[in-house]
């Protein structure tokens, strides 16, 4: 018999989405163009040629979506604001209609008893700012503070949980160096600059949000991957340390007052023959502004092999794991492994190495394409198992003292999965894109019961 895993009484159970992935209405009511509008409208960028022009049409269907969340018993909803809906040119002129939309959404959530968690930046940079250089330029960080000020001034009386950025690694490296996300650049130096300005804009925005939204809690969301070497060879070990450094340590280290890790600075330095002069001495103090929580997004692990090395050992340290339907790489897919133990390890590592006051899992979930059966039921047992095993891993970490305060499943509903378009389905709710009908999958009904019981029975 498995024992029941109970969570603390005030544990927050929620779901997450982001503006560009669900809203649609890409050019309505005065919204400006974002880099994702531009990117998805450019042929050859998104795998199925699709766009977020309509997406889940949440911009028009939000009352229905709130009712759906309420019916599932969800306690909190993490969503992002579209910056160009609020500041169409990125700075300066405010589009009141944009603010009004989010104001109605917040009121609707509160009336339904659902706590809003706002993410300010989930990748839809105003195109006007990209035209001036985007995140590699310091003035984009200045514009972000203006946006954070406008948003928190108008919503901060009712919204008490703020996340400045979602996954700065994706917003910098994936977008400016690997070319997989908007704006699709391939310039590592630009990506490093972007990463710095993203972190800096976070640090500058924290006190502004606090001033506008008294008693609020402010944090940032990072994405982490469990990086593990393919073999015990020195080359694979070195390479793993490097990947962990550029992906994980670079961001968390600066945020927790330890500047950038010396090994990664040394790795990046050759990109900047004139020095890393975009980093100013006072920046580190700003970046390390005390926060109330760390948001953690976790999906999978990455097995690292140094393909160029001669001393590669043949043995495999970590056997292959089951995979979901999601993959890294757009055109050469590497499927994501399912690795709940990685979440346990990560939570321990973050807490014992960096000591955040509080942690929220701001995203965790999986893509399986499982669709309706002949009775219209969506039996996504694979997703249910994924969530169950990750919840159990999180619970185990909490037994070690990790201050995990809540869990947001990615995602409320199937949506536009960036460069993978509509070819992935991360939702616990099925979306029929022809009719926009939403149907809770088995995993949603199961999750609803977990919330009602405030706990779950783990796998045997």
The smaller minimum CB distance to ligand FCB, of residues 37 and 363, is found at 363
Q: Which of 23, 75, 137, 167 is catalytic?
A: 167
| CA angle, residues 176, 208, 254, in degrees to nearest 5 | 45
Instruction: Report, in Å, the least distance between residue 227 CB and ligand FCB.
Output: 16
Pattern 1-20, binding to ligand FCB, x per CB under 6 A? Answer: -----------------x--
**How many residues are listed for the chain in this entry?**
460
The smaller minimum CB distance to ligand FCB, of residues 327 and 377, is found at 327
Question: Interface with ligand FCB by CB under 6 A: which range of 35-43, 165-173, 306-314, 389-397?
Answer: 165-173
Question: Interface with ligand FCB by CB under 6 A: which range of 24-32, 163-171, 194-202, 368-376?
Answer: 163-171
Dihedral angle computed from the Cα positions of residues 311, 317, 320 and 324, in that order, rounded to the nearest 10 degrees = -90
Q: Is 401 left (phi over 0), alpha (psi -120 to 50) or beta?
A: left
The smaller minimum CB distance to ligand FCB, of residues 17 and 253, is found at 17
Instruction: Report, in Å, the least distance between residue 453 CB and ligand FCB.
Output: 27
Pattern 221-250, binding to ligand FCB, x per CB under 6 A? Answer: --x---------------------------
CB atoms within 10 A of CB 63: 12
Considering only residues 410, 422, 430, 446, which one is a binding residue for ligand FCB as defined by CB under 6 A? 410
Residue (of 445, 432, 434) closest to 68 by Cα position: 445
DSSP labels for 195-252? HHHHHHHHHHHHHHHHHHSTT-EEEEEEEEEEEEESSSSHHHHHHHHHHHIIIIIHHH
Pattern 282-301, binding to ligand FCB, x per CB under 6 A? Answer: ---------------x----
217 is catalytic: no
442 is catalytic: no
Q: Are 57 and 71 in contact (CB under 8 A)?
A: no
| CA angle, residues 437, 443, 448, in degrees to nearest 5 | 90
Question: Residue 363, interface with ligand FCB (CB under 6 A)?
Answer: yes
Residue 321: phi, psi to the nearest 5?
-120, 165
Question: Residue 161, interface with ligand FCB (CB under 6 A)?
Answer: no
- Count residues near ligand FCB (CB under 6 A): 12
CA distance 417 to 384: 20
Q: Which of 33, 225, 337, 363 is catalytic?
A: 363
Considering only residues 74, 125, 170, 192, which one is a binding residue for ligand FCB as defined by CB under 6 A? 170
Binding site for ligand FCB (CB under 6 A): 18, 21, 166-167, 170, 223, 297, 363, 410, 417-418, 426
């Amino acid at each position: 018999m498995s024992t029941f895993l109970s969570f603390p009484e005030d544990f927050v159970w929620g779901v997450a989405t982001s503006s560009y992935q669900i809203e649609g209405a890409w050019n309505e009511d005065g919204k400006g163009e974002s880099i994702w509008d531009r990117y998805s409208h450019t042929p050859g960028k998104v795998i199925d040629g699709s766009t977020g022009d309509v997406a889940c049409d949440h911009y028009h269907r939000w009352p229905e979506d709130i009712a759906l969340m309420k019916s599932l018993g969800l306690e909190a909803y993490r969503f992002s604001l579209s910056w160009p809906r609020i500041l169409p040119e990125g700075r300066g002129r405010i589009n009141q209609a944009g603010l009004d939309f989010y104001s109605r959404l917040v009121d609707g959530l509160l009336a339904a008893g659902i706590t809003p968690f706002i993410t300010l930046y989930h990748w839809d940079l105003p195109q006007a700012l990209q035209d001036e250089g985007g995140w590699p330029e310091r003035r984009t960080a200045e514009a972000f503070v203006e946006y954070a000020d406008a948003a928190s001034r108008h919503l901060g009386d009712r919204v008490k949980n703020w996340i400045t950025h979602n996954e700065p690694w994706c917003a910098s490296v994936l977008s400016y160096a690997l070319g997989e996300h908007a704006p699709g650049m391939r310039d590592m130096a630009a990506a490093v600059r972007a990463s710095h300005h993203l972190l800096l804009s976070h640090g500058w925005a924290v006190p502004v949000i606090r001033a506008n939204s008294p008693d609020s809690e402010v944090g940032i969301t990072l994405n982490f991957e469990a990086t593990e070497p393919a073999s015990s060879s020195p080359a694979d070990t070195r390479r793993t340390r490097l990947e962990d450094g550029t992906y994980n340590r670079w961001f968390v280290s600066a945020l927790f007052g330890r500047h950038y890790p010396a090994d990664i600075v040394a790795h990046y330095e050759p990109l900047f023959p004139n020095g890393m002069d975009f980093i100013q001495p006072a920046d580190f103090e700003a970046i390390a502004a005390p926060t109330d929580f760390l948001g953690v997004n976790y999906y999978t692990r990455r097995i690292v092999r140094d393909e160029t090395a001669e001393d590669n050992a043949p043995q495999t340290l970590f056997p292959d794991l089951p995979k979901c339907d999601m993959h890294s790489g757009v055109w050469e897919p590497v499927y994501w492994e399912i690795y709940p133990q990685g979440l346990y390890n990560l939570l321990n590592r973050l807490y014992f190495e960096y000591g955040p006051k509080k942690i929220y899992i701001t995203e965790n979930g999986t893509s399986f394409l499982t669709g309706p059966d002949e009775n219209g039921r969506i039996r996504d047992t694979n997703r249910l198992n994924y969530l169950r095993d990750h919840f159990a891993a999180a619970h185990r970490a909490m037994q070690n003292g990790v201050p995990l305060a809540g869990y947001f499943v990615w995602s409320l509903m199937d949506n536009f999965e960036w460069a993978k378009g509509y070819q992935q389905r991360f939702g616990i709710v099925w979306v029929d894109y022809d009719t926009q009908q939403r149907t809770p999958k088995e995993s949603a009904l199961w999750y609803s019961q977990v919330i009602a019981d405030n706990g779950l029975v783990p796998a045997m």
